């Protein structure tokens, strides 16, 4: 659970920015989306493989070696 305490003299916008950054680094949004609906094991495997293919394509585009 991400928690940010308002520091003395800190604006609410800055605290909100720190909170958003903390949530993003802890992958909380990704976990919520992952648990928002059920995927059958076969579907989960297909999604995982599709993401791996996408990562590899992106990596090969960036590093033409």
Please provide the average confidence, as pLDDT, over all residues in the chain.
90
- For residue 34, being part of any structural domain is answered with yes
Alpha-helix runs per DSSP H in 1-65: 12-25, 28-35, 41-62
- For residue 48, being part of any structural domain is answered with yes
Other CB atoms within a 10 A radius of the CB of residue 36 amount to: 7
- Name the one residue in this structure whose structure tokens are 């909380």: 28
- Domain total of the chain: 1
- For residue 3, being part of any structural domain is answered with no
Q: Is the pLDDT of residue 20 over 80?
A: yes
Question: pTM score > 0.85 for this model?
Answer: no
23 contact partners, CB below 8 Å, separation of at least 6: 2, 29
List the domain range (segments joined by +) for residue 16. Answer: 12-62
6 contact partners, CB below 8 Å, separation of at least 6: 12, 15
- For residue 25, being part of any structural domain is answered with yes
């Amino acid at each position: 659970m991400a928690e940010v305490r308002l520091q003395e003299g800190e604006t609410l916008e800055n605290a909100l920015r720190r909170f958003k950054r903390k949530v993003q680094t802890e992958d909380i949004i990704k976990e919520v989306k992952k648990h928002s609906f059920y995927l059958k094991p076969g579907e989960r495997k297909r999604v995982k493989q599709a993401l791996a293919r996408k990562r590899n394509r992106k990596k090969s585009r960036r590093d033409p070696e």
